[in-house]
Amino acid sequence: MRWDIFCKMIDNHGDVGVCWRLATGLAGRGEKVRLWIDEPSALAWMAPAGCPGVTVVHWTERDAARHDAGAPTPDVLIEAFGCDPVPEVVSLFARQHPGEEARHRWINLEYLSAEPYVERLHRLPSPVFRDPGAGLTKHFFYPGFTTATGGVMREPDLMARRDRFDRAAWLAAHDIPWQGERIVSLFCYEPRALDNLLGQLENAGEPTRLLVTAGRAAAALPPGPARRGALSISWLPYVSQIDFDHLLWACDLNFVRGEDSLVRALWAGAPFVWQIYPQDDDAHHNKLDAFLDWAKAPRSLRDFHHRWNGISPSPLPVLDRLTLAQWASAAHAARESLLAQEDLLTRLIRFVTQKS
């Protein structure tokens, strides 16, 4: 089938990351994909090799008109996170001949959440009454953590690649000095508790190497030397999606942010702390707690998340061996729960191809 995926980058790279994984996952299953993206520059470091079967279209009015002329009609139109697809493509989609209704789907791919409403709204129809899509029906597709949702993305060979990963070799290849100390990754926005975390690591009873990702995490880090007490810091360049997985696999503890990196941290299986994308009305507080409930987070992990996300003013719990062992147990259990379920692409393709 032919799929058109529409993506707009809001203020970070998470939307791009999710849509690229979706596009490459579909291409890996033999599908033909066009990824329409308004800001494709991030793909230069996120996916420098591109992907066979995926055509990237710089989403502008000029490109929309150019691709409309003689372009094949998509069988599936995916509107990622409520962006408005190109009217010319929607018009083509609306004129698709009636012999293909079983494959003719307009999907509104929503954000990932563990909140109860996801199961209620997943796969619900939404009739379109105006503009070029009038008369069509969108369907909401909600990623989630239960069998009653759209699931999360997982490549078929992901766990096999994870099992083959050589941490020491990867660290050496990236010129990261390592002598067996604890390794922690930092991929965050600007958490208020960052100074608290750095102080704890500097004064810990065991050495820690902090791998700081490029962008907002690096900018949020207070200036100072690379060696601070028991803490050593390495700054990383922007890395590809493949190497971001390797980074998470190499670490004993991962600090992640947003949606795509949360899922990758779950697959990594190591203890992790999630900085959820903040919302002005604090709606992200309920979303975070719903995830922690699903993950059966121990009290110390819940308290750390609340402090890291600015919900609680209390000090960060101490990252000692016992605490991290409890977090690791919760992370493994959460991963096993997801591995027992079908992945997002399997569920999405089934939904698209089933008869109405």
Question: pLDDT digit string (tens) for 155-207?
Answer: 999 999 999 999 999 999 999 999 999 999 999 999 999 999 999 999 999 99
Q: Are strands 208-212 and 231-235 parallel, antiparallel or unpaired?
A: parallel
Cβ(215)–Cβ(240) under 8 Å?
Answer: no
Task: Give the full edge-to-edge strand order of the sheet including 208-212.
Answer: 227-228, 231-235, 208-212, 182-186, 253-257, 272-275
Q: Is the pLDDT of residue 245 over 90?
A: yes
Query: What mean pLDDT comes out for the span 19-46?
Result: 95
pLDDT averaged over the chain?
Answer: 92
Domain boundaries, the chain: 2-151+342-353, 158-339
pLDDT-derived band at 64 (thresholds 50, 70, 90) equals low
Q: Is the pLDDT of residue 302 over 50?
A: yes
Q: Which of these, 106, 118, 56, lies nearest to 82 by C-alpha position?
A: 106
pLDDT at residue 119 in the model: 98
Alpha-carbon distance of 304 to 73, in angstroms, equals 49
Look at residue 84 in the predicted model and tell me its pLDDT.
82
Task: Assess whether the region 2-151+342-353 and the region 158-339 belong to the same CATH fold.
Answer: yes
Q: What pLDDT does 86 receive?
A: 76
The proportion of the chain whose per-residue pLDDT surpasses 90, expressed as a percent, equals 78
Minimal CA–CA distance to 253: which of 206, 214, 288, 287? Answer: 206
Under a CB-based contact definition with an 8 Å cutoff, are residues 254 and 270 in contact? Answer: yes
User: What's the topology of domain 2-151+342-353?
Assistant: Rossmann fold (3.40.50)
Alpha-carbon distance 260 to 112, whole Å?
9
pLDDT computed for residue 65 by the predictor: 54
User: In 38-148, where do the E strands start and end?
Assistant: 54-58, 76-80, 105-109, 125-127, 137-141
pLDDT bin (cut points 50, 70, 90) of residue 102 is very low
Residue 135 has a pLDDT of 86
Residues 6 or more apart whose CB falls under 8 angstroms from that of 113 comprise 142, 143, 144, 287, 290, 291
Which residues are known to be catalytic? 15, 259
Using only C-alpha atoms, the chain has a radius of gyration, in whole angstroms, of: 21
As a 3-state breakdown, the chain gives helix, strand, coil percent values, each rounded to 5, of 40, 15, 40
pLDDT of 233 over the 90 cut: yes
Q: Above 70 in pLDDT, residue 101?
A: no
Q: What is the pLDDT of residue 8?
A: 87
Band the pLDDT of 21: cuts 50, 70, 90: very high
Name the nearest CA neighbour of 18 among 41, 46, 38.
46
Q: Average pLDDT for residues 237-255, to the nearest whole number?
A: 97
In this predicted structure, what is the pLDDT of residue 77?
Answer: 92
Instruction: Give the residue with greater pLDDT, 93 vs 58.
Output: 58
Range with lowest mean pLDDT among 43-47, 70-74, 284-288: 70-74
For residue 98, the model assigns a pLDDT of 46
Q: Is 72 exposed, middle or buried (0-12, 13-18, 19+ CB in 10 A)?
A: exposed
Beta carbons within 10 angstroms of residue 196's beta carbon: 14
Q: Classify the C-alpha dihedral 82-83-84-86 as positive or negative.
A: negative
Span 259-287, pLDDT tens digits: 999 999 999 999 999 999 888 888 899 99
Q: With bands split at pLDDT 50, 70 and 90, how would you rate the model's confidence at 82?
A: confident
Distance of CA 348 to the CA centre of its chain: 17
pTM of the full predicted structure? 0.94
From the list 349, 346, 341, 351, the residue with the least C-alpha distance to 145 is 341
Q: What is the pLDDT of residues 305-316, one digit of tens each?
A: 999 999 999 999
Residues pairing with 83 in the sheet:
none
pLDDT band at 68 (very low <50, low <70, confident <90, very high): low
pLDDT range class, residue 13, cuts 50, 70, 90: confident
Q: Considering the chain, what percentage of its residues have pLDDT values greater than 70? A: 94
For residues 288 and 135, the model is more confident at 288
pLDDT at 291 over 60: yes
Q: Which CATH superfamily is domain 158-339 in?
A: Glycogen Phosphorylase B; (3.40.50.2000)
Phi, psi of 36, deg, nearest 5 = -90, 120
